[in-house]
Amino acid sequence: MNKNMRKLMNVQRRLLDDEFRNIAAAEIAYKLGTLPGMNRAMRIGIYMAFGGEVDCQPFIESANLRKKRIFLPILTKTKLLFAPYKSDSKLVINQYGILEPVYKRQQIIAAHDLDAVIVPLVAFDTDCNRLGMGGGFYDRCFAFRRRRQKWRKPLLIGVAYDFQRVNGFRIEAWDVPLDAVVTEKECYGSC
C-alpha cells in the first residue's frame, strides 16, 4: 500500500504547474516564518527540493535575512549528516540526484544540535505521521527522538502540498512522527 501511495503522490507532485509551485512555496515559507518554534530556532536543517517536492528556497532566503544558520542534509550510504549552507556554497549532485553542499568533515553538525529541521515527505496524515521516499534516512537520523519524553529538539516540521494529506498509509514502528506539517493551506500539529 505504501509503495502505491508513494508512486501516486510522486506523479501528482511532478504534474503541478510552475505557477502553483511558486505560490505554494511562498505561502509555506510565510507560514513557517510565523511558527513560534521556527522563530526561536537559530540552526535549521532544510532540504533542497527534488522530484516535485516543495521548494524551500523562499524560506531559506527569509531565514538568511533573519541571521539563521542553514544546514543541508548529506546522504551517505546509510546515514544523514548535516553541513552548513550559504547562498554562495558550492553544491554537488549526490548519488540520488539531490544537491548537497561541498563540506569539510569538521563542519558537520549532529542532528541533535539542530533547533529545527524542515523535512521532505511524500504523504502525511493529520497526526503528523510522515511517509517518506522509503530509504529511512530521516527516521534513522532522528530515532533518538522516539526515546525522549520531554526534550523535543530538534523540532521536525514537514512541508508538503495540501493534497499530500491522506489517511490509511501504514505506520511502521521505526517511523518518527513530525511535530507539525505546513502546507499552502494549513498548519497541522503544533510547534
Reported as a single tens digit per residue, the pLDDT across 40-52 is: 999 999 999 998 9
pLDDT at 26: 98
pLDDT at 168: 79
Reported as a single tens digit per residue, the pLDDT across 63-77 is: 999 999 999 999 888
Pick out the chain residues at pLDDT < 70: 1, 148-152, 191
pLDDT at 25: 97
CATH of domain 2-189: 3.40.50.10420
Ranges of each domain in the chain: 2-189
User: 3-state SS string over the chain?
Assistant: CHHHHHHHHHHHHHCCCHHHHHHHHHHHHHHHHHCHHHHHCCEEECCCCCCCCCCCHHHHHHHHHCCCEEEEEEECCCCEEEEEECCCCCEEECCCCCEEECCCHHHCECHHHCCEEEECCCEECCCCCEECCCCCHHHHHCCHHHHCCCCCCCEEEEECCHHHECCCCCCCCCCCCCCEEECCCCEEECC
